[in-house]
Amino acid sequence: MATKESNLPALYAELNKFGQNGEYERALKTANKILGISQDEEAAFHCKIVCCIQLSKFNDALQFIIKNPKLATNLHFEKAYCLYRLNQVPESLKVVDNVPSPSLKLKELKAQILYRLEKYEQCFSVYRDIIKHSNDEYEDEREANLAAVTVNLTIEDSKLEVPVLREDTYELTYNAACRLIAQGSKEDKTMLVEAEKKLKTAEKMCKEGLEEDGVAEEEIEDELGIIRVQLGCCLQLQGREKEAQALYTSALKVKPDDIALVAVASNNLVCLNRDQNVFDSKKRMKSATHDSLEHKLTSRQRRSIAYNQCLLALYTDQAEQCQSLCNKLAKEHPVLAADAMFIKAMQLSKEGKAKEAAKLLTQHAIGEKELPMKLVCVQLLLSHDEKQEAIDILESLNERDRSLPGIVSALVTLHMANNNREKASVALKNAVNYYKKNKETTANLGELWRQAADFYLRGGEIKVAADILQEMVDASPSDTKTLAQLVVAYVQFCPEKAQLLSKRLPPLHDLSETTDIDALETSNWVIGTKVAKKKIEPSPGKPTIDVTQKKRKKRKRKGKLPKNYDPNIPPDPERWLPRHERSGFRKKRDRRNRDTVMKGTQGAAAGASDLYDITKMPTNAKPSPNPRHSSAVETSGPRQQQRKVQQKKKKKGGKW
């Protein structure tokens, strides 16, 4: 009688057959049969774990490994891979790091884990080591992955030197283009133009290569979609927004299976829409913020999408949603905390809460964001006529920022608006003293000196202005403009110094040598266009013609006299007055606005009502039985006037 153990060779043969044919469900059942006969069969247990992984039952495989530590002593790769696919990436890295001498496939898995964790420098070193110590058919894929790592390194630091890789496959060409996009910018479009060429080359290589391999049309379109969306991004950075929008739309019409690709294209379309077409943007944003995208996008991509979502809520006036999204963005992505608070402040400002918005911005004005955030506060406050609060924020800036020419100008203007000339003067003096003490930029100091001098001259403080101009002259003695201003200033309170300094000014004949007198004479702003000289440029072989020398002779025409003109009768003295100002002018009566004679009931004559009022009759008079024959003057009303009937003339030659 055969024992169960005697069936093991046959079951292993069956297991091997199913595994080679890819029938993992049947192979899993066979492995379970073997383990049912003998629980210590490591080979069968290993096959069972591999079958679960092939069937995407990662959680089941991980549980089997955890429950059977004796059988899983050498299954480090399988355990780490299951953790990686279950998005437990840090735990997966710990498993790999605990292996003393990892195999090649463990190193490749480690590189993938580091890429997912966005530890690109470590990932780059691992891939470089793998490529150096391996030589098989997966060389192109490893180099393509290395190229992807270099792209992300370039995004983090565009000036970082990365090795130049070959470009003989469409994946390598695509990644080379992505690296150029990361290095390029809107100002320098040369790299973007080169990236566009490489992307078009990669698209052509991809299509031809996949068609030769007999790949289905749908799979080819999915693969081309990634390249086309990246090409759209390149065009968008160049400012060719319509072309980019067409590429994004066509890529989404295919309905690709890659949800990350859909999210990126949708987000870029939202960027193109800006504050227009918000309904389309809301639909696109739903595709870009799906829950399943958490582990499909990089942190930089998720950050950009979350930021655009906040802006969209601001544009659509969804106040509560905007504030909650801004708080979420600041919490999940501290790098954009200041930008999130900026959007939140804009929403508060739209609601009329300028002071609350300014307070929020001031709290997050730290480090590099201090100056721009506080300037936004000032803008918000000034838009709501809060001058003093704006002054306080500008004065709270550090000494260097407070001494910038634009800030000084704003402070002086605001102080003068508050009729506080003393504080305006102090702001100017502090700025000048800062640049004199630190000697950072002479351009700013010279500009501030000139503005300060002009400020004191307009304010009547001539001596203070003269001292400032004197310092400017000492700093640059060749500046004749400043020297002339100083002479004008000294003339008002110290003519002796003015006379002495005026000798340093260049003589008038030197100034006249550099003056184009012909240009002054021909300039129409000095004299009229009729008097100004006009010169015609001579053609070859012809002399210059002065137009003023040619005088046109105008023909004098004899004045026409009226037909009934009588030289013996003097002309009317009012002939030059307008008709309505002449003494004999009679205003034409308006039928719609008649005088008091015509006022009253239609058809009623003026004074006729008195004939019927018995209280106004004399005592000895009797009412006339027939008012039509009374002595009162009657005027016919509008209805009593007869219309003139115009008879139509018959045409000659008509039929009778």
Tell me phi and psi for residue 535, to 5 degrees: -110, 135
d(CA 487, CA 466): 9
351-356, Cβ contacts within 8 angstroms, sequence gap of 24 or more: 351/319, 352/384, 354/380, 354/381, 354/383, 354/384, 354/386, 355/381, 355/384, 355/386, 355/389
Residue whose tokens read 């500009």: 447
How many C-beta neighbours within 10 Å does residue 356 have? Answer: 14
**DSSP assignment, residue 622?**
-
Check: CB of residue 137 under 8 Å from CB of residue 146.
no
d(CA 113, CA 17): 33
d(CA 178, CA 168): 16
pLDDT value at 576 more than 80: yes
Residue 627: per-residue pLDDT = 39
- CA atoms within a 13 Å half-sphere pointing along the CA-CB vector of 501: 25
pLDDT in tens, 101-155: 899 999 999 999 999 999 999 999 999 999 988 888 888 899 999 999 999 998 8
**pLDDT tier at 511, thresholds 50, 70, 90:** low
**pLDDT tier at 408, thresholds 50, 70, 90:** confident
| 113 against 8, higher pLDDT | 113
List Cα–Cα distances, 140 to 115, 136, 166, 172, in angstroms. Answer: 18, 9, 10, 8
Q: From the centroid of its chain, how far is CA 596?
A: 70
In the three-class reduction of DSSP (H, G, I as helix; E, B as strand; rest coil), residue 57 is classed as coil
Average pLDDT over residues 184-202: 85
Q: Which pTM was predicted?
A: 0.67
**pLDDT tier at 369, thresholds 50, 70, 90:** confident
Average pLDDT over residues 456-480: 74
- Which architecture characterizes domain 5-131 according to CATH? Alpha Horseshoe (1.25)
Task: Give the residue from 199, 197, 254, 268 showing the smallest Cα distance to 222.
Answer: 254
pLDDT in tens, 305-351: 999 999 999 999 899 999 999 999 999 999 898 899 999 999 998 88
Check: CB of residue 38 under 8 Å from CB of residue 67.
no
List Cα–Cα distances, 620 to 357, 617, 630, 646, in angstroms. Answer: 93, 8, 16, 50
pLDDT value at 498 more than 80: no
**pLDDT tier at 23, thresholds 50, 70, 90:** very high
Q: What are residue 4's DSSP bridge partners?
A: none
Residue 318 structure tokens? 């969804």
**Least confident residue range of 252-266, 280-294, 421-435:** 421-435
pLDDT in tens, 197-207: 999 999 999 99
**DSSP assignment, residue 39?**
T
301-305, Cβ contacts within 8 angstroms, sequence gap of 24 or more: 301/263, 301/264, 301/267, 302/333, 303/329, 303/333, 303/335, 303/336, 304/267, 305/263, 305/267
Torsion sign across C-alpha atoms 345, 233, 261, 152:
negative
User: Average pLDDT of the chain?
Assistant: 80
pLDDT in tens, 32-63: 999 988 888 999 999 999 999 999 999 999 99
Q: What are residue 546's DSSP bridge partners?
A: 535
Check: CB of residue 91 under 8 Å from CB of residue 66.
no
Can you list the alpha helix ranges (DSSP code H) found in 254-404? 259-273, 278-288, 299-315, 319-332, 337-350, 354-363, 370-383, 387-395, 399-402
Residue 639: per-residue pLDDT = 37
